[in-house]
Structure 1
Amino acid sequence: MRREDKGDSYVKKRFSIWFGVLFVIYTLLIGWYLFFGANTELPNVYKGTSADPATFMNARQLELSHEFSRIKSLIYFVSIPLEWGIYLFVLYFGLSRVFRNWSKGISRFSFVQIAIYVILLMCINLILTFPLDYINYQVSQAYEISTQSFSSWMKDLFISFWVSNLFMILTVFVIYFFMNRKPKKWWLYAWLLSVPFTVFMMFIQPVVIDPLYNDFYRLEDKQLEEKILSMASRADIPAERVFEVDMSEKTNALNAYVTGIGSNLRIVLWDTTLNTLEDDEILFVMAHEMGHFVMHHLYFNLFASIFLSLIGLYIGAKLLKWAVARYGEKWGVSGINDIASLPVLLLIFSLLSFLVGPIENAVSRSAENDSDVYAIEMTEDPEAAIGAFQELTINGLSEVNPPGLVKFFRYGHPTMLERIHLLESYMPKEKEKMKAPSN
């Protein structure tokens, strides 16, 4: 065996051992924290209140909610380093170099080469993450959150795979096009082109992407639709109809949302929400979603996404240049404009996304809290609001007071403890005026 081959074999072996050991230690520590170390006992001040799960969940539901929430969180925390490990595996074992050579051997056109490379890379990712995805699906089935058949789940998985591939191919082609022509400022040109694309995607999402996964149709309950549209009119939301989406074939969880911009704006209710909640509870949920629109959270999210993508591309460009300069020869990557450098770039973006995630969650929790306040002021029905959140907790087996680390990394909404307590302590302004002493 040549010295180069021995050195390459040593690097692969060393990477495999170190990553495997660290991954196992990390998984054990996270598991211990979630199931044993985290203190999630309800503070005494909340016991006996509407936020106390013991007041609206039976002992079995409490047990299931604890188990389900912890298992789902464990899967989430394990999936993060697994994604990073896949990118490093592709680099250290020379698969990125092999994929590049195959794609160049098949076609001389750069777009075709990139398409072939991306599909091969995403296939590796699909294969290596499938066991965890399947476990995630089985857990939801076992706890009766998911009602989706395996064939339907696989169909959604492959739709996501090919939709993601399409957008990935277009994105990667643009990035590497500018890398070849503007190597120092590629990140800026790529960002400038991404802005109209991001807006366009937000516009077509409700009418093109979402219907690939579910059937949407006009709300059959005309009386309820009239009430919702009346609220929308009061909120100056230009909606002419309310859509119902058939989710009961896939889940028992509840949801509703207002999405899209311009003429493609849609008010959507899951049929599971319609089948579970009372009308006044549904009206509170819809008022909450309308609050996001009224307070321009949709546009804030759009502008924040555009701004963060600029920062991410800039930092990504600097880190990619450094990583390729230092490890490129070992990985078989000739330069930043070599398509074989894509796993490095994806790894960098994934790391940056993970780091900024808690900040995004904190901002999102604040926006959700504002929408809760908006909804309760619009409906003036705290009892219905509390009932809606209690049902959401039961049907989704949500943990009312999750571990701190889980809230920090996973919660884009306030905890149910915080949300129900807010509603319980809320006193409408009209009642405050009634209690105020007259002069």
Structure 2
Amino acid sequence: MWFMLGFGIYGALMWYYLFHGADSALPVDLKGSAADPAMFMTDRELELSTDFSRIKDFLYFISVPLEWMIYLFVLGFGLSKWFRKASSGLTRFSIVHTAVYVLLLSFASWVLTFPLRYYSFTVSKSYNISVQSFHSWMRDGLVDFWISWALTTLMVGVMYWLIKKYEKRWWLFAWLLSIPFTVFLYFIQPVVIDPLYNKFYPLQDEALKEKILNIAEKAEIPAENVYEVNMSEKTNALNAYVNGIGSNLRIVLWDTTLNKLSDNQVLFVMAHEIGHYVMNHLYWNLISSIVLSFLGLWLGNIIYRKWIVKYGKTWGIKGVGDLAALPALLLIFSLLSFVVSPVENAVSRKAERDADQYAIQMTKNPEAAVGAFQQLATVSLSEVNPPKIVKWFLYGHPTMLERIHFLDSYNTGKTLDKEQLPY
């Protein structure tokens, strides 16, 4: 109950900060520059970008503690005990108990968060960012639900088996098993998971494909094709990426990006994505994920044990190996993830800046680079200079203000001092 009261006060303060108290004024020395949104957005677009960004930011900062409150609700009101009892009475196979328990917990969370997710969907529709039908949106949500349920069931089943077998060192064995599992997910995502949501096909523009593959060849990327994904039936936003590892590496462009950007702008965007590959950011992401999972499991185990000792009886939990304690473990992992996210985002922003510099050195076309980000900001209604808290917790990329200013002031012919180089 105290948490619910605190949640209400927090929501009110966050609303005031985002809609009235946050300072996102443009620095005086950048007014009238290419980074000034007034130079490439209409007054109406400026108004819409501010409103849309504030609403989406507020929904994020509300959704995170809402997840925590749901876990506490499930524990505090005895639902977790009921889920355990309902699942254990079906069969003697523990994996079935786990699957049913996770299904009940996931469904409860899905139902309780549905109003917020639906509101977020309607906001994107009303601001013409999303053009997705409700049927298509629900389909994607259900695909998300079942994929998450299957993966969570597998991980939880293994984790609680380890807790029962190696009570003190379960987290270490769980981490060791997570390494090949994480690598496997990185490998199969482009060819197994991504196609569940959208249609992928070879890029239709042969001339543009050849130009992109020429850049990839210069960068020594083992890519034989460029893929286009049909996102225009869902969104007006723009995106492109290089993902996967080994033989499953894929260069992907959203069709919205192809429709909205010129060829030179697309080439800059793709050079940026290729820069991630050249500088091994995909592998560094994999390594950092493995390192963070080690720290998270180690620290999470310590907190988990203390919570079970302190609150176990109140929650009706029999011990650390009780499946009914899963919401507590998920709550701990969510809290740790939230706390570490500003650090992860800062590292990610550095990598994105490196990729921007690589792309400008590769294409030597600052005008196309600046134009690409101006168009991206306009189409996506992105706030060019968001509040600091929003940047810390939500921005894995530099802000549009930072990116456009950097590219606009970058002279491809100058020699940078070592201290000026981002990598």
**How many equivalent residue pairs?**
416
Residues 130 and 236 in structure 2, CA contact (< 8 A), matched pair in contact too: yes
Confirm whether residue 299 of structure 1 aligns to residue 283 of structure 2. yes
Confirm whether residue 164 of structure 1 aligns to residue 148 of structure 2. yes
Identical columns (%): 61
Instruction: Report the residue type matching 1:270 in the other structure.
Output: W
Partner of 1:375: 359
Matches within 5 A, 1:79-228: 79-228=63-212
Q: How far is 1:176 from its partner?
A: 0.4
Query: What is the CA–CA distance in structure 1 between the aligned matches of 2:378 and 2:49, rounded to whole Å?
Result: 8
Partner of 2:346: 362
Q: What is the CA deviation profile of residues 67-123 of structure 1, one whole-angstrom value per residue up to 9, with x for unaligned ones? A: 000000000000011000000000000000011011111111110000000000000
Instruction: Report the residue type matching 2:46 in the other structure.
Output: L
Instruction: Report the residue type matching 2:156 in the other structure.
Output: V
Residues 4 and 69 in structure 2, CA contact (< 8 A), matched pair in contact too: no
Confirm whether residue 402 of structure 1 aligns to residue 394 of structure 2. no
Matches within 5 A, 1:252-401: 252-401=236-385
Query: What is the CA–CA distance in structure 2 between the aligned matches of 1:98 and 1:334, rounded to whole Å?
Result: 13
Partner of 1:415: 399
Extract structure 1 runs of 4+ deviating beyond 6 A.
none
Query: What is the CA–CA distance in structure 2 between the aligned matches of 1:229 and 1:430, rounded to whole Å?
Result: 27
Query: What is the CA–CA distance in structure 2 between the aligned matches of 1:329 and 1:281, rounded to whole Å?
Result: 60
Q: Secondary structure at the match of 2:89?
A: helix
Confirm whether residue 60 of structure 1 aligns to residue 52 of structure 2. no
Structure 1 residue runs of 5 or longer lacking an equivalent are 1-14, 433-439
Q: Secondary structure at the match of 2:227?
A: strand
Instruction: Report the residue type matching 2:321 in the other structure.
Output: N
Q: How far is 1:22 from its partner?
A: 1.4
Structure 2 residue runs of 5 or longer lacking an equivalent are 417-423
Q: How far is 1:431 from its partner?
A: 9.1
Partner of 1:437: none
Instruction: Report the residue type matching 2:125 in the other structure.
Output: Q
Query: What is the CA–CA distance in structure 1 between the aligned matches of 2:17 and 2:98, rounded to whole Å?
Result: 42
Query: What is the CA–CA distance in structure 2 between the aligned matches of 1:43 and 1:196, rounded to whole Å?
Result: 47
Q: What is the CA deviation profile of residues 116-147 of structure 1, one whole-angstrom value per residue up to 9, with x for unaligned ones? A: 00000000000000000000000000000000
Q: Secondary structure at the match of 1:267?
A: strand
Q: How far is 1:48 from its partner?
A: 0.4
Partner of 2:57: 73
Query: What is the CA–CA distance in structure 2 between the aligned matches of 1:359 and 1:93, rounded to whole Å?
Result: 35
Confirm whether residue 29 of structure 1 aligns to residue 8 of structure 2. no
Q: Secondary structure at the match of 2:161?
A: helix
Question: Which has the higher Rg, Structure 1 or Structure 2?
Answer: 1
Q: What is the CA deviation profile of residues 313-335 of structure 1, one whole-angstrom value per residue up to 9, with x for unaligned ones? A: 01111111110011000001000
Query: What is the CA–CA distance in structure 2 between the aligned matches of 1:298 and 1:40, rounded to whole Å?
Result: 32
Query: What is the CA–CA distance in structure 1 between the aligned matches of 2:166 and 2:25, rounded to whole Å?
Result: 56
Q: Which moved more, 1:22-31 or 1:139-148?
A: 22-31
Query: What is the CA–CA distance in structure 2 between the aligned matches of 1:176 and 1:325, rounded to whole Å?
Result: 17
Q: Secondary structure at the match of 2:242?
A: strand
Q: How far is 1:21 from its partner?
A: 2.0
Q: How far is 1:430 from its partner?
A: 6.3
TM-score by length of 2: 0.98
Partner of 1:7: none
Query: What is the CA–CA distance in structure 1 between the aligned matches of 2:44 and 2:253, rounded to whole Å?
Result: 29
Q: What is the CA deviation profile of residues 374-411 of structure 1, one whole-angstrom value per residue up to 9, with x for unaligned ones? A: 00000000000000000000011000000111001100
Instruction: Report the residue type matching 1:81 in the other structure.
Output: P
Q: Secondary structure at the match of 2:252?
A: strand
Instruction: Report the residue type matching 2:179 in the other structure.
Output: V
Q: CA RMSD, aligned part only?
A: 0.9
Query: What is the CA–CA distance in structure 2 between the aligned matches of 1:148 and 1:83, rounded to whole Å?
Result: 25
Instruction: Report the residue type matching 2:87 in the other structure.
Output: S
Q: How far is 1:23 from its partner?
A: 1.4
Query: What is the CA–CA distance in structure 2 between the aligned matches of 1:107 and 1:311, rounded to whole Å?
Result: 35
Query: What is the CA–CA distance in structure 2 between the aligned matches of 1:87 and 1:415, rounded to whole Å?
Result: 33
